[in-house]
Structure 1
Amino acid sequence: MSESTSVMWFRDDLRVRDNPALRAAVEHGGPIVCLYVLDDESENLRPLGGASRWWLHGSLSALAEELRELGLSLTLRRGPAGEVVRGVVDETDAGAVFWNRRYGEAERAIDTDLKSTLKDERGLDVRSFQANLLAEPWTVQTGQGGWYKVFTPFYRAVTSLPAPRHPLAIPGREHGDETGGDPTTLHRRRLSGDELDSWGLLPKHPDWAAGLRDRWTPGSAGAHERLDAFVRGGVGAYPDEHDLPAEDGTSSLSPHLRFGEISPFEVWHAVERHRARAPRDAAGASAFLRQIVWREFAYHLLYHLPSLGTENMREEFDRFPWEEPDAAELEAWQQGRTGIPLVDAGMRELWTTGVMHNRVRMVVASFLVKNMRVDWRVGERWFWDTLVDADPASNALNWQWVAGSGPDAAPYFRVFNPELQASKFDPHGEYLKRWLPELGTDDYPEPMLDLKESRKAALEAYATIR
């Protein structure tokens, strides 16, 4: 064990449980600097949207408390991440830096440059770890050594790999911990840092986050509470209820996974343990774990297609005759005032809670891209700003899937009919009534377009690029 300071650089892994980089810092010995950098400045790095910034505030606050329980403190700094980390290393004369890997192109460029400077040029112990994906993108290959562009063979490949590793315990909390990392013996290195409130992550004028506060508990405790509740009471009914927006039939883990408050290893093994105890829920467990692998697929694509969120993956869509969005109509879509009930209910749920039921996400996206014929990237940007689970891989993949422009996408001619979707998945109108109390009164707007005619126009537009 070393006596030199180590830097644990937190990013999308805001947890102490099942955190291999944090464990490495503890095993390294010596004082530990726990660092988080708010980076709105590095080249090509996309700043968080408003709802995600709200979540980040709560998540960092929860992480700081978890670290305090281990005798550690969280240092907050702001600026270009590479420069900030190098500055902290110089300030503390650190001998080691640890982090968990990220998979976007801009993030990887930052990490590669930093590792080159600190490890190759200065001889520090710099290590990165697999923490947020069950299978890293370069480990899943086709028989020809390429990468997967279609989900089903990707799913088969991932599920044929050795079982995911078991989650790591909190350092110093497991029985007989060989690291000696008892909370009373961990040493923190105190550094000056920013106050969390000074970052201005929370909305104030106006404060639009009341619904988010009512709906969510950011942090690992909230993540595990939600996972436990879902495994005990929801996973068995998942095949029957996950498509019903009026039911609490999904896990609601997506924002917790997005910020790394819980790991996919923890989720996977919790569901597998339940499957072993309750064979009657096996079908539900399998259906849910398939969605976990869909998230893996999104990151597989993002790694191999860095422009997933900005460029059509099918080149013919570069010629698609998108309509220039009318400002009033786009605002009506954003605010849930289109006069199409299921679309409006979904958009109001999004604005109030920071999430939208996945079935309804497909409907509102299809309405924008096909009925309104607005470029999918316009919708992707709105979701990026308003979703608490705005994920650089999943958000982009799901929009390209609906638009038909992605590598494994629904065909463009599949146009979701909001009325049929509502009658099938919300037959008693409970979801509509929850979010549209004025429905059926003179206060509810008339439809801003004809669903049948707009579908016909969309298919005619698609015919021009076939």
Structure 2
Amino acid sequence: MCFVVDPRLERSSGERRLAFLFDSLRELDAKLDGKLLIVRGRPDEEIPRLAKAVDAEAVHISGDFTPFGRRRDEAVAEALGDVPLEATGSPYLVSPGRITKDDGEPYKVFTPYFRRWREHGWRQPADSSIPGSAVLDPSGVKKSGRIKTPKAPTTLSFPAGEDAALARWAEFVDDDLADYDTGRNDPAADVTSRMSAYLKYGNIHPRTLAADLGRSAGGQAYLRELAFRDFYADVLFHWPHSLWHNWNRQFDDIELDTDDEAYERFEAWKAGRTGFPLVDAGMRQLAETGWMHNRVRMVTASFLVKDLHLPWWWGAEWFLEQLVDGDMASNNHGWQWAAGTGTDAAPYFRVFNPEAQAKKFDPEGEYVRRWVGDVDADDYPEPIVDHKAEREEALRRFGQI
């Protein structure tokens, strides 16, 4: 079993994502009795070299459906020549590309996709993992190029790996799943599962989660979130340009702010110094932990694109820099949902009011006080914009396209 540390991904990944990856590899190596072969280099060079060294009849990988992953795997397949590259695994309940309309076209709207997704179904979890004794010992591979598991560049606030994923999932099912349907939008209660990073890095498979959900309201609400994860991966699969460009190209003409004042506001947003307590709480939680409650992600994203009129990809890049989970499809299409530029997005006239959102979802101010200890201090900033005025400005700009 081999993992190739690609320098291109090292350069483009935030420290927290790298730390979670390396911690996950360290745990996997221990589970395999030290038989995980880790090399560094371009996969289209390293994999063919190793396949030749062990006289491999085939190379098996887990499918990667991102634009970069597909290009990379195509290059590996070409470099392998007559040795087939087999994608035998997928990190989704239903792999991108499998759910289509009757005419073969992909879905653009989640609700009909969700119905077809449920009809399609998925396999049950595998009975067991591969035992370490069944894995080729890399010490017997000549000139393998093996490296030690890279050191994590930062310390995370929660552990990585399969054991941690299973423990966290069991805790969520026992303590919070029953309340998930009604409590998932309350950032102070925090009944969310926090499984996103474990899913992103393959520490646990969504089939394992789905098998435990049952028919309760909480279980079905959680299943719907897993479906959203698959849906956004499917959208990116069919429209790869939407990773960093508007899925709806009509919005390419919208007026955006990119001058010096815009950058100053962007820095205030990143630092959690906007003068809107719920926005600031979310941004400070992100900076400190590498995670943010989903409801607050929507509020902070809406504020950046519709109150500050900044490009959504500025925010998406910052989230990827800070988040531990950092899933490209979910992150970037979540941002496009907030911006109104994506598939099945929030309508352009829906502009979250940060103060109204705080009253509705954090009525006692518990979440805000947890992350914005200076909210009542004299030096806490005044609001950097007038929400009512900026809402009208956002509607004006959207109305021009």
Q: TM-score, normalised by structure 2?
A: 0.94
2:188 to 225, 231, 246: 246
Report Cα offsets for 1:387-418 as digits up to 9, x if no partner.
11110110111000000000110011100001
1:202 to 134, 143, 153: 153
Rounded to whole Å, the distance in 1 between the matches of 2:228 and 2:244 is 20
**Alpha-carbon contact 2:61-2:89 (below 8 Å) kept:** no
2:248 to 314, 317, 334: 314
The amino acid that maps onto 1:332 is: A
**Alpha-carbon contact 1:338-1:445 (below 8 Å) kept:** yes
The 1:145–1:125 alpha-carbon spacing in structure 2 relative to 1, beyond 3 Å, is: closer
Rounded to whole Å, the distance in 1 between the matches of 2:303 and 2:134 is 57
Matched, 1:92 2:54: yes
- SS in structure 2 at match of 1:229: helix
Structure 1: gaps spanning 5 or more residues: 1-33, 173-182, 204-208, 276-281
Q: CA deviation at 1:343?
A: 0.4
Matched, 1:141 2:100: yes
Rounded to whole Å, the distance in 2 between the matches of 1:327 and 1:171 is 50
Q: CA deviation at 1:46?
A: 8.2
Corresponding residue for residue 62 of structure 1: 27
Rounded to whole Å, the distance in 1 between the matches of 2:342 and 2:134 is 51
Rounded to whole Å, the distance in 1 between the matches of 2:348 and 2:226 is 25
Matched, 1:35 2:2: yes
Report Cα offsets for 1:29-69 as digits up to 9, x if no partner.
xxxxx211121338xx983222211211211111111111x
Rounded to whole Å, the distance in 1 between the matches of 2:370 and 2:117 is 39
**Alpha-carbon contact 1:166-1:269 (below 8 Å) kept:** yes
Q: CA deviation at 1:234?
A: 1.0
How does 1:121-132 map onto structure 2 within 5 Å? 121-122=81-82, 124=83, 126-132=85-91
Corresponding residue for residue 115 of structure 2: 156
Structure 2: gaps spanning 5 or more residues: none
The amino acid that maps onto 2:273 is: R
1:427 to 331, 340, 363: 363
The 1:185–1:63 alpha-carbon spacing in structure 2 relative to 1, beyond 3 Å, is: closer
Q: CA deviation at 1:186?
A: 4.8
**Alpha-carbon contact 2:272-2:280 (below 8 Å) kept:** yes
The amino acid that maps onto 1:50 is: E
Query: How many pairs does the alignment contain?
Result: 395
Rounded to whole Å, the distance in 2 between the matches of 1:402 and 1:321 is 16
The 1:135–1:163 alpha-carbon spacing in structure 2 relative to 1, beyond 3 Å, is: closer
**Alpha-carbon contact 2:93-2:122 (below 8 Å) kept:** no
Q: CA deviation at 1:443?
A: 2.4
Percent of residue pairs identical: 37
Rounded to whole Å, the distance in 1 between the matches of 2:395 and 2:133 is 66
**Alpha-carbon contact 1:75-1:193 (below 8 Å) kept:** yes
Q: TM-score, normalised by structure 1?
A: 0.81
Rounded to whole Å, the distance in 2 between the matches of 1:142 and 1:168 is 33
Matched, 1:193 2:143: no
Corresponding residue for residue 391 of structure 2: 455
**Alpha-carbon contact 2:44-2:79 (below 8 Å) kept:** no
Matched, 1:367 2:332: no
How does 1:326-345 map onto structure 2 within 5 Å? 326-345=262-281
Report Cα offsets for 1:112-155 as digits up to 9, x if no partner.
3322443xx33x35422133111122221101111001000000
Rounded to whole Å, the distance in 1 between the matches of 2:372 and 2:297 is 17
Report Cα offsets for 1:298-323 as digits up to 9, x if no partner.
11001001122211111221100001
Rounded to whole Å, the distance in 2 between the matches of 1:171 and 1:331 is 47
Q: CA deviation at 1:105?
A: 2.2
Instruction: Calculate the aligned-residue CA RMSD, in Å.
Output: 1.8
Matched, 1:47 2:47: no
Rounded to whole Å, the distance in 2 between the matches of 1:243 and 1:162 is 27
The amino acid that maps onto 1:189 is: P
Report Cα offsets for 1:178-208 as digits up to 9, x if no partner.
xxxxx556541324422233xx6404xxxxx
Rounded to whole Å, the distance in 2 between the matches of 1:186 and 1:218 is 22
Q: CA deviation at 1:377?
A: 0.7
Report Cα offsets for 1:399-444 as digits up to 9, x if no partner.
0000000011001110000100000100110001100111111121
Rounded to whole Å, the distance in 1 between the matches of 2:336 and 2:11 is 18
How does 1:105-124 map onto structure 2 within 5 Å? 105-118=67-80, 121-122=81-82, 124=83
Rounded to whole Å, the distance in 2 between the matches of 1:35 and 1:406 is 36
**Alpha-carbon contact 1:309-1:377 (below 8 Å) kept:** no
Corresponding residue for residue 289 of structure 1: 223
Report Cα offsets for 1:221-259 as digits up to 9, x if no partner.
111111111111111100111000001211100000011
Greater mean alpha carbon deviation, residues 153-162 or residues 325-334: 325-334
2:130 to 171, 180, 187: 171
